[in-house]
Copies of this chain bind each other. A is one copy, B any other.
Amino acid sequence: MLIIKSPVEKTIELDHDIYLLKIRCPEIAGIIKPGEFLNIRVSESMYPLLRRPFSVCDVEGDDLCLMFNIFGEGTRMLSRKHKGDLIDILGPLGKGFNIEGDYDTAVIVGGGLGAAPFPYLTRRIGSRKNIFTFIGGKTHRDVITYGMKNVSTATDDGSKGFKGTVVELFKSRFSEFRGTKMKIFGCGPNAMLRSLKEFCIANDLECEVSTECVMACGFGICQGCPIESTEHPEKYFLVCKDGPVFNVNDVVL
């Protein structure tokens, strides 16, 4: 864990209100793993007060990439950063995806901005495994496929790709993967993760999901980010420390 002020390299508007921010930060770029996150102070002032958590979207050499949409005031301020502006980063934080292990096909399932951690996951898996990616959104505007491989898309309104949810899309294509040793990587809204979990349990698939929770600190001191544990109902996991990536069997979604 480091706290470091690093200069913006580039701010790119990928799509309407969706941004990619590249920050030159070799210290963190060198050690961060897919699924881990950063807690970012978007302003030096007291407004907004708290840091904002963002998954590492990709690492390009010394550069950290974040992908985000303008949600509230904090992300709006972040979208206005220019080359050279210093960003106050706390990271790397949390536990990321485990990309090692006994599988030959990585299936990535992302909903909306839940796609954010997957470019880096894709890069780090590289060519060691097959990768299939399913990305869904409400409309074509919410489908972001930046930095991903073998992508199929789904939209609720059918405006791009399959008409339906991304989990339904995955189900409809599931037979293609019969016989391969799969591992599923999921990230997106809770409802999506819940239906992904159901499907993975029904089909006995290994699955890791990245979860979200409102956070104050991001590194375990505030107890602000509980998530129910399946095995230990008497206590919560902390999303920021024990997660944000969990084996889908370990948490109640």
Give the B-binding residues of A (Cβ under 8 A): 45-47, 73
Contacts of A73 in B (CB 8 A): 45
> Would you give the shortest CB distance from A159 to chain B, in whole angstroms?
34
Nearest 5 pairs between A and B by C-beta?
Answer: A47-B47, A45-B47, A46-B47, A45-B73, A45-B45
How many chain copies does the complex carry?
Answer: 2
**What separation, in Å, do the CA atoms of A46 and B45 have in the docked complex?**
10
**What separation, in Å, do the CA atoms of A47 and B73 have in the docked complex?**
12
> Would you give the shortest CB distance from A80 to chain B, in whole angstroms?
11
**What separation, in Å, do the CA atoms of A45 and B76 have in the docked complex?**
11
> Would you give the shortest CB distance from A22 to chain B, in whole angstroms?
22
**What separation, in Å, do the CA atoms of A190 and B107 have in the docked complex?**
73
Chain A to chain B contacts (Cβ below 8 Å), 5 pairs? A45-B45, A45-B47, A45-B73, A46-B47, A47-B47
Contacts of A45 in B (CB 8 A): 45, 47, 73
**What separation, in Å, do the CA atoms of A97 and B122 have in the docked complex?**
69
> Would you give the shortest CB distance from A21 to chain B, in whole angstroms?
20
In the complex formed, the residue of B with least CB distance to A47 is B47
**What separation, in Å, do the CA atoms of A108 and B71 have in the docked complex?**
53
In the complex formed, the residue of B with least CB distance to A77 is B45
> Would you give the shortest CB distance from A42 to chain B, in whole angstroms?
11
> Would you give the shortest CB distance from A85 to chain B, in whole angstroms?
11
**What separation, in Å, do the CA atoms of A46 and B46 have in the docked complex?**
9
In the complex formed, the residue of B with least CB distance to A46 is B47
> Would you give the shortest CB distance from A45 to chain B, in whole angstroms?
5
In the complex formed, the residue of B with least CB distance to A73 is B45
**What separation, in Å, do the CA atoms of A47 and B49 have in the docked complex?**
10
In the complex formed, the residue of B with least CB distance to A49 is B47
> Would you give the shortest CB distance from A83 to chain B, in whole angstroms?
14
Contacts of A46 in B (CB 8 A): 47
In the complex formed, the residue of B with least CB distance to A45 is B47
> Would you give the shortest CB distance from A70 to chain B, in whole angstroms?
15
**What separation, in Å, do the CA atoms of A9 and B47 have in the docked complex?**
27
In the complex formed, the residue of B with least CB distance to A44 is B73
**What separation, in Å, do the CA atoms of A47 and B45 have in the docked complex?**
7
